Structure 1
Amino acid sequence: MDLFTSPLLERLASARHVLIAGGGGGFDVFSGLPLYFRLRALGKTVTLANLSFTRLEALECERPVPGVFRVDASTEGRGYYFPEGWLARWFERRGEQVPLYCFEQTGMAPLREAYAALHAHLGFDAVVLVDGGTDILMRGDEVGLGTPQEDIASLGAVHALPVRDKLVVCLGFGVDTHHGVCHAHFLEAVAALSKEGGYLGVTALLEAMPEVALYKEAVGYVCEQMSRSPSIVSLSVVSALEGDYGDVHRTQRTQGSTLWINPLMSMYWAFDLTPVARRCLYLDALKDTRTPWEMNLIIETFRASLSIRPWKDIPV
């Protein structure tokens, strides 16, 4: 490794088939699109997946393995919250047929089984779990965890895979303030992971990059189609890419709150997944959960037994 090396891309240099999976549901898979386009340009096979908030059981689409739905441009779901379907249609508009493999919202155990089955089906040899935001790094005793259920279920599921390269990539530093996350605690987590050798640095996404231009185009198209529920995270990242700063709003969904659009929001923060999973204080307690409600109960019980660390302002 040297000054001109990207540790993130170096970790994926020998991979033949990379699964880029949205860990927290909704638009999280969009945060992996710049990396998706770059890895494809390097000649790698890249597959997109996402933990989905869509009513997958109501869709007419292929189910290649239990717990996984293969969504493409022909999958009808216009009456639902369905970013995966609209993303597939965006690819079709560009002349490409790109499926997305969607996981149901479950507890950690079924999600772990679904990931294992998809691995056996596709044979990918590396996984990048992408988080729109930074709350996946919260270990459990912070004042705010954001929306941990989906992120930690995905973290535990990927951690169990027999794959050599398993990474976590966060995009959207600052956006989770909207969900009560203290970013001083995020930076503390980065420092702790750096001490363990698990921090792979930051990679700036710049508007002039072709991969970023495609990401912006995809976000713009899908958010326009889903005008009643566009992505707060994705639109905030686009604002940062375009040089906006401060309390800048692109959707009515954020009206009444104060946003902090900032240059760090458009950077990839990359980590080795194994130490991220090892650092999570309550991951093991969730390993046998079957439903999201069971996960919520265990998290609430766990938190009630802790001394919660209070909010810290970043002293700059």
Structure 2
Amino acid sequence: MELAANQLFNRLSNAERILVAGAGGGFDVYSGIPLYLALKAQGKSVHLANLSFASLRDDGNRLTEASFEVTADTAGSDTYFPERVLSRWFAEKLEQDVSVFAFTQCGARPLLESYQHLVEKLNLDAIVLVDGGTDSLMRGDEVGLGTPSEDLVSMTAVNQLDLPYKILSCLGFGVDRFHGVCHAQFLEAVADLTKSGGFLGAFSVLPNTVEAEHYLDLVEYSTQRTPSRPSIVNTSIASAIAGHFGNHQVTDRTKGSELWISPLMSMYWSFELEAVMKRNLYAVRLLETESFFEVTDVIRSFRNGIAAKDWQAIPD
């Protein structure tokens, strides 16, 4: 291992067929687009998936009980459909026909079945789960977990797959502060994973790269086409990539809130998924969940039975 090597891409150097999947739903898959484009540029076969919050219709595009294939022409809402907007951006801006595999909100068992179907359908040898934010690293006893249900059901499902490469990559340090996440405790998690060998390093998405230029264009494109519910996470990350700092506002959804945009927000932090899951205190309880309600209930019950850590401030 050499300092000059990017450890995430070094880890995936022998992977040929990769799925980049949004772990936390909504616009999370957008946070993986710079990685998707960089891996495609290396000549790899790369696909996209996302845990979806959209109302998915069964118009012959259903793959499993809990998964669908979304294209630029898929029927659905004209006000909120991040997966279709993403497919249309590829078609209109890059002249590429790109499907986005969308998972319904469900428990770990049906989600595992859906991921296994894609592993076989696409002959995958790697999955990179992407989290827009960093709350996916919360193990369960922190002062705040953010929005753990979506991230953890995805991570629980993927961790059970028999694949050579399973990675979690987070983009958006600082975004989760309004969901009660203590970022000192995120850094504590990174330190723990460094000790265990599960941390694959961090690197910035720089604005003068092709991947960043396409990502910034995608965020602007999606914001224009989802005006009532633009992505706070991705507009914040885009602001950081563009070099803004502090309370830089770009959408009415954040009016009344004070943002903290910083260069740390434009960095990917990547980890071996298995190492992250070994550190988690409650994920094993999610294995047999069928519905998304069960997932949230398991996490709520776990939290009610423990004493959470106190808030830790990052020194000024």
Query: Shorter-normalised TM-score: what interval?
Result: over 0.9
Give aligned-pair identity as a percent: 49
> What amino acid is the match of 2:74?
T
- Asked if the contact 1:132/1:170 (under 8 Å) is kept, the reply is yes
Q: Secondary structure at the match of 1:163?
A: coil
> What amino acid is the match of 1:203?
F
1:87 maps to what in 2? 86
**Structure-2-length-normalised TM-score:** 0.98
1:68 maps to what in 2? 67
- Displacement of 1:95: 1.1
2:255 maps to what in 1? 255
2:300 maps to what in 1? 300
1:39 maps to what in 2? 39
CA distance 1:145–1:204, change in 2 (3 Å): same
- Displacement of 1:64: 2.9
CA deviation string 1:131-171 (max 9, x = no partner): 00000000001111111001000000010010011000000
- Mapping of 1:8-47 within 5 angstroms? 8-47=8-47
- Asked if the contact 1:61/1:71 (under 8 Å) is kept, the reply is no
Distance 1:237 1:35 in 2: 14
Runs of 4+ in 1 over 6 A off after TM superposition: none
1:280 maps to what in 2? 280
1:118 maps to what in 2? 118
Distance 1:80 1:227 in 2: 8
CA deviation string 1:19-50 (max 9, x = no partner): 00000000100111001111111100000000
Distance 1:61 1:150 in 2: 26
Distance 1:256 1:290 in 2: 38
2:132 maps to what in 1? 132
1:202 maps to what in 2? 202
- Mapping of 1:43-58 within 5 angstroms? 43-56=43-56, 58=57
- Asked if the contact 1:286/1:298 (under 8 Å) is kept, the reply is yes
- Displacement of 1:80: 4.7
Distance 1:294 1:167 in 2: 25
- Asked if the contact 1:70/1:100 (under 8 Å) is kept, the reply is yes
Structure 2: runs of 5 or more not aligned: none
- Displacement of 1:76: 2.1
- Asked if the contact 1:55/1:80 (under 8 Å) is kept, the reply is no
CA deviation string 1:48-70 (max 9, x = no partner): 000000111x3535123332100
1:243 maps to what in 2? 243
CA distance 1:61–1:83, change in 2 (3 Å): farther
Distance 2:248 2:312 in 1: 24
Distance 1:148 1:169 in 2: 15
Distance 1:81 1:6 in 2: 36
Distance 2:122 2:40 in 1: 17
Aligned residues: 315
Distance 1:15 1:225 in 2: 34
- Displacement of 1:126: 0.4
**Structure-1-length-normalised TM-score:** 0.98
- Displacement of 1:207: 0.3
